[in-house]
Amino acid sequence: MSKTIGIADTTFARVDMAKFAIKTIKDNAAGIKIVRYTVPGVKDLPIACKKLIDEHNCDICMALGMPGPMPIDKTCSHEASIGIIRTQLLTNRHILEVFVHMDEASNDKELFRITKDRTIKHALNVIALLNGPEDLQKRAGTGKRQGHADVGAII
């Protein structure tokens, strides 16, 4: 049976995060269907993911967003995260929240690098989750990071 991955992204993001996710999935998982749903901002991502799951039968989703640096943006990001968690619980489906905060980097080049790295690594995590728990169990406790260098395990 073919699996479907939903990708919800925003127009507010300064990088086309879905482009990296879609390419990574296509390059690493044959036969996967991808459905993309673009919304204005991060607070719209929970309903986008719910629609992807309910109306497009997605097995798993990625919620891609880039909250701004202001205090109101932090609040909106937190509210979106709560909505995404609630959507996971209501649908019994994983939704990988892939947020890159605009103040994570001091310049656009670094922000782009973090965004690309985090999105690609989480797209690979989506594939791993679709393959079953064993894929990620092999990496448990290894200090893997998305967007930054791995920190390694404490021995």
Q: For residue 34, what are the β-bridge partners?
A: 5
Asked if residues 104 and 111 have their Cβ atoms less than 8 Å apart, the reply is yes
What CATH number does the domain located at 4-137 have?
3.40.50.960
Residue 148: band (very low, low, confident or very high) from pLDDT cuts 50, 70, 90: confident
Q: What is the pLDDT of residue 1?
A: 59
Share of the chain residues as helix, strand and coil, in percent rounded to the nearest 5:
50, 15, 30
Banded pLDDT at 56 (limits 50, 70, 90): very high
Q: Is 82 exposed, middle or buried (0-12, 13-18, 19+ CB in 10 A)?
A: exposed
Give the pLDDT of residue 121: 96
> Domain locations in the chain?
4-137
d(CA 62, CA 121): 12
Pairing assessment for the beta strands 60-65 and 33-39 based on DSSP bridges:
unpaired
Name the average pLDDT for the chain.
95
CA dihedral 33, 39, 42, 47 (to 10 degrees): -70
What is the C-alpha separation between 126 and 25, in angstroms, rounded? 9
- Pick from 64, 85, 86: nearest CA to 17: 64
pTM here is 0.94
